[in-house]
Each structure stands twice: as C-alpha cells, then as structure tokens.
Amino acid sequence: NNNEISMLADKALGGLRNLLAIDLSSNKIVALPSELFKDPQSIQEIHLKNNSISVLSPGLFANLVQLQTLDLSINQLTSSWINRSTFKGLIRLVLLDLSSNKITKLESEMFSDLYTVQILNLRHNMLENIDANTFSSMSNLHKLLLSHNKIKYLDAYSLNGLSVLALLAIDNNELTGIHPEAFRNCSSLDILSLNGNELTKIPLALKDMRLLKTLDLGENLITTLEEPGFRGLNKVYGLRLIGNQI
C-alpha cells in the first residue's frame, strides 16, 4: 500500500495459491483485471481503499468463498459496476466497505449471497432511496452505515430482514419521512442515528424500538414533541435533540 501502482497485469498474483491477505490501499489503481484473484482463491482479506477504481470486471471476486473482508472505500465506483453479480458467491464475507464512492442505487438482490456479513458501510455515496427487501438476505447484519447520502424516505420494507441489526446510522441524509412500520423488523436495534435530516416530527416508527438505548434526532426540523412521542422506549438512556426548532 501507499505506492504509485496504477495498473496490475492479468496474472499479477499468479502462483500465490496460499495468499491470505492483500493490501493495495492508497495507490492509483483505476481498474482490476478479471483474472487477478484466479489463483489466490483462499484469500481472506482484500484491501483496495483510496484508489481511483471506477471499473470492477464481471466475475472479479467469483469463487472467493474464503473472503471475509472486502474494502473498496474511497474510490470512484458507480452503480454501473456494483450490481447483483458483483458479490455473488462471497458466502463467508463479514465486512463490506463501499463508503466514499459514487453509488446512486442498490440493485435488488445485489446482497443476496451475503448472509454472513456483519458490517456494511455505504457512507458518503449518492443513494436516494432504499428499495424494498434490499437487505432482506443479510440476516446476520449488525451494523448498517448509510450516513451522508441523499435518502429521502424509508418505506415499510426498506429494512426488511434485519432482525439482529444493532446499529443503524442514516444521519446526514435528506429524510423528510419514515413509514410507521419501517423499523418493525429491526427489533434488536440498539443505536439509531437520524440526525442531520429534514424530519419535522418524532417518527411514529419508533414505537417498535423496545431495545433502543441511544437515539439521535439532532439537527432536524422538529418543532413539537407530539403524542405518542417516545412512549415505549423504556431502555433509552441517550437522547439527542439539539439543533431543532422545538
């Protein structure tokens, strides 16, 4: 890492059949050849943070069934190259970092094989909405980071299937509303960050948050605390409402 590498040959890792981790962070890589990981199929960690990658060849990560960490943060990736086949077969992945890219949408079923992922980082992208059942196969997801996007609304099925989710950060978006049933499947949620949005009232969806301990609603447009307000949030010990118009 931290070199001036701008390109890699097709079989740059050829022969490295026992390679467990590779760190190519902070280089000047624009694209990766489709057969780069053909030999080191036992690899467990791939770090590609802080490059200029705008293209992911189809099948680049195919058959990497031992991969646990994939860091693609701080690149130039768009939705054209992040789709339902990109992460296919990554059945042991635990951490997926796609933060600080240019992703505008999440294709349905793009995470369908990622049922072991525990941390998904999508901060600092250009997402405008979360389609129904986008994360429904991610039954082991503990942390979902969606901060600093352009999400305007959470519907009733946006967070379907996230029954063990403990932390949801959707701060610094453009949320004007949340469907009353949006969190009904997030019964294990412990920390919820909704600060830096455009909410005008306390979301009714909070009624399902029986285990919630920390809630951040700061820097919104809330003017009054109406019924039912925070009723039922018996375990909350941290509540932030600074920067509203109450």
Cβ atoms within 10 Å, residue 103? 20
pLDDT above 70: percentage of residues in the chain: 99
158-196 pLDDT, tens digit per residue, is 999 999 999 999 999 999 999 999 999 898 999 999 999
Q: What is the pLDDT of residue 160?
A: 94
Selection from 200, 205, 212 nearest residue 183 by Cα = 205
pLDDT, residue 149, reads 98
Q: Could you read off the pLDDT of 192-243 as tens digits, one per residue?
A: 999 999 999 999 999 878 899 999 999 999 999 888 789 889 999 999 999 9
Q: Which residues contact 80 (CB under 8 A, 6 or more apart)?
A: none
* Residue keyed to tokens 């590779």: 22
In this prediction the pTM is 0.96
